Amino acid sequence: MHPAPVLSAPTLVLHGGADTCNHPDSSKGREAFFSGWYERQAATSPRAATAWWCAKASSYRRRRAPSSN
């Protein structure tokens, strides 16, 4: 598609720092394609990655949860 669409959905991009199939650099500089909240991060240590992914996903979920009235 030319030009690429701009996405308004809140977006969290998480990469494994040592991922050889989808290298973290593949999402670098893509902020212009998102008009809503956008965060991009890469895990640096495979040993710490599981806890890191869980913490990031939980943080994102809390941020996106509807507020109770």
- Kindly tell me if the per-residue pLDDT of 69 is higher than 60: no
Per-residue pLDDT reduced to its tens digit, 23-65: 888 889 999 999 988 988 887 776 667 777 788 778 877 776 6
What pLDDT is attached to residue 46? 67
Query: What residues does each domain of the chain span?
Result: 11-64
CB atoms within 10 A of CB 32: 9
Distance CA 38, CA 11 (A): 5
- Kindly tell me if the per-residue pLDDT of 3 is higher than 60: yes
* pTM (two decimals): 0.62
